[in-house]
Amino acid sequence: MAKRQIQAQRKPAAKPAQKPWQEQPWIVWVPVIVAAVLYLTGLKNEMLGVDDHTATVDNPAVRDGKLFTHFNLGMYAPLTWMGYALAHALGGNNPLWYHLLSLLAHAANTWLVYQLLSRLTGGRVPAALAVAFIFAAHPIQVESVAWIAGFSTPLYALFYLLACHRFLDFRERPGEWKAYGLALLFFVLACLAKSAAVTLPLSLAVLDVWRGNAPAWRRRLLEYAPFGVVALGFGLLTLYSREQAMLQTPVLTEPISSWERLLVLCYTPLFYTWKMLLPVGLNIYYSFDKVNGQFPWTYYAAPLVLAALLFAVWRYRRQAPWAWQGVLWYFAAIVVMLPWKSLGSFEMRADHYNYLSLIGFAWILVEGWGALQQRFPAMSSIRFGLGGVWMFGLVVLSLVQIRTWKDTITVITHAIDNGYHQNGLLYLGRAKAWGSRGNLQAALADFDKAIEINPQLTEVYKYRGALLGLAQRFEESLRNLDAYIEKHPEEAEAWYNRALTLVNLNRFEEALRDLNRTLELDPEFTRAYRARGNVRQRLGDEAGGAADLAEYDRRMGFSGK
């Protein structure tokens, strides 16, 4: 008996049961790590000639610290400009710091998306992980994160998601007005990063529908009201800022009737859905192109298809609440970025508009995939395999897409090769990039193509004239600059560029006239004083020339153009 007791005491204790993989504490960091590692591959991408310089080093808010008193690119986004100013202080024109800021914001957003879905699902780790992974790795996110000028998108999303979390705190602890105040503060910060954040009140309403135990509508409307007031204020400010930037005129796209506008509105979310499901052929621009004056048949089918899908989602919202929840989130987050009207030289359709809306799509996909498992359990291995291949494909396609954004010529050529030229604008953009590389032949070919497609694209004459001047083809340069000034007689830089060409043609009297006109239009055009000083001296006006050169030296002490 004693021997048996001793042996029993020596028997090793049973090992504690292992947690399932989805309950391991480290697993929640996988989507964040994926987001960071993916975009580490893009840190060496160049600063693009598509808005990057205008948004950063040429932005008065960044260059001169005028954060709260200026608009830029039709936007009022002082918080985004603070980020650019920080990157500029750390590295000047070095794109690495700008890319690093976007990477950090996207990684933080991925974590917040995981936490949000975890809260909404009652701690269902696999579903929250899958949605966060899709958010982190989907190629449609590349434009928002890899494009320096797109930094406003992950930045506003960061505060948008923080506001959602604090609002959920308020819902979970009624009377916790500190959480409510923080949600409102984060909303204001989101709007100061990008005006697209004005959709937050709609997303908060979706969160209440999603949770299913929100207060009565009357109380909810009162709680949404302060968010609505902020949204209205920033919305009106955005309309004003776009008017100031003259993004509403001139419209270089083909006119769209009211009926065609409806077609475009219905087609766009279907187009995005297809791109999210099969993310190939993603581009910096998407045109609404007609063939022989008509849209393709898919546009005409779009209203019926969209209506049928929305009706089905509504009809079966109790049997498949995940579809209803996902659709509501998707449209709440993207509604103001749908193509309600033409803005300047382009229609509103771009990958980065889907940055937050992707959460709704990912939720539908993940829960729909789970519903298929319950409906057809015998096909679980096939379902798992297809899902794994699709997830892995997201990573591979994102890596490819990040490389597509490595420089201006690559990203524009990719769009042109996929059939988009944005009414000639992409050829113009690529021509300028070729010119900056010194490839005169390629630049001139693209300038010619741009003006052939769109004779109203008179910017071609300005840039082609300047490039031909650098190539010492002065007579051709003069003809192009003449054509540009005829259309834009109030632009000081055009008169200045033509003056330089006239100097090289030894037509000094005409050059002096153009330089006088330059300074009439813009007395702060510092370089024009030096050019005019030299021209005056060539014409024998030593005193006038000396005065201009002295003025140039004085101004260069604190600024210059």
Coil, strand or helix: which one is 59? coil
Whether the per-residue pLDDT at 558 is higher than 60: the answer is: no
Tokens encoding 113: 């998306």
Percent of the chain clearing pLDDT 70 (strictly above): 91
Cα separation, 225 vs 230, in Å, equals: 9
Coil, strand or helix: which one is 68? coil
Q: How much is the pLDDT for 6?
A: 45
Integer distance in angstroms from the first to the last C-alpha of the chain?
100
Cα separation, 6 vs 10, in Å, equals: 6
Phi-psi domain of 100 (left: phi exceeds 0; alpha: psi -120 through 50; beta: other): alpha
pLDDT band at 245 (very low <50, low <70, confident <90, very high): low
In order, the DSSP letters of 200-256 are HHHHHHHHHHHHS----HHHHHHHHHHHHHHHHHHHHHHHHHHHHTTTTSS--SPP-
User: Which of 45-59, 83-97, 180-194, 220-234 is predicted least confidently?
Assistant: 45-59
pTM for the complete prediction? 0.86
| CA-CA-CA-CA torsion sign (48, 51, 52, 53) | positive
Torsion of CA 498, 502, 503, 504, to 10 degrees: 100
> Among 143, 155, 346, which Cα is nearest to 242's?
346
Q: How much is the pLDDT for 39?
A: 97
- pLDDT of 362-389, one tens digit each? 999 999 988 887 777 777 777 778 888 9
Whether the per-residue pLDDT at 14 is higher than 60: the answer is: no
Domains of the chain: 27-409 (no CATH), 421-555 (1.25.40.10)
Contacts 24+ apart (CB under 8 A), 72-75: 73/149, 73/245, 74/241, 74/242, 74/244, 74/245, 74/247, 74/343, 74/344, 75/152, 75/194, 75/195, 75/238, 75/241
Asked if residue 401 lies in contact with residue 142, where contact means CB atoms within 8 angstroms, the answer is yes
Average confidence (pLDDT) over 71-98: 89
Tokens 């382009």 sit on residue:
346
Asked if residue 193 lies in contact with residue 77, where contact means CB atoms within 8 angstroms, the answer is yes
- pLDDT of 288-330, one tens digit each? 877 777 889 999 999 999 999 999 999 999 999 999 999 999 9
Asked if residue 279 lies in contact with residue 377, where contact means CB atoms within 8 angstroms, the answer is no
Whether the per-residue pLDDT at 340 is higher than 90: the answer is: no
Average confidence (pLDDT) over 184-201: 96
**Residue type present at position 354:** N
In order, the DSSP letters of 118-178 are HHHTTS-HHHHHHHHHHHHH-GGGHHHHH-GGGTHHHHHHHHHHHHHHHHHHHHHSTT-HH
pLDDT band at 341 (very low <50, low <70, confident <90, very high): confident
Whether the per-residue pLDDT at 349 is higher than 90: the answer is: no
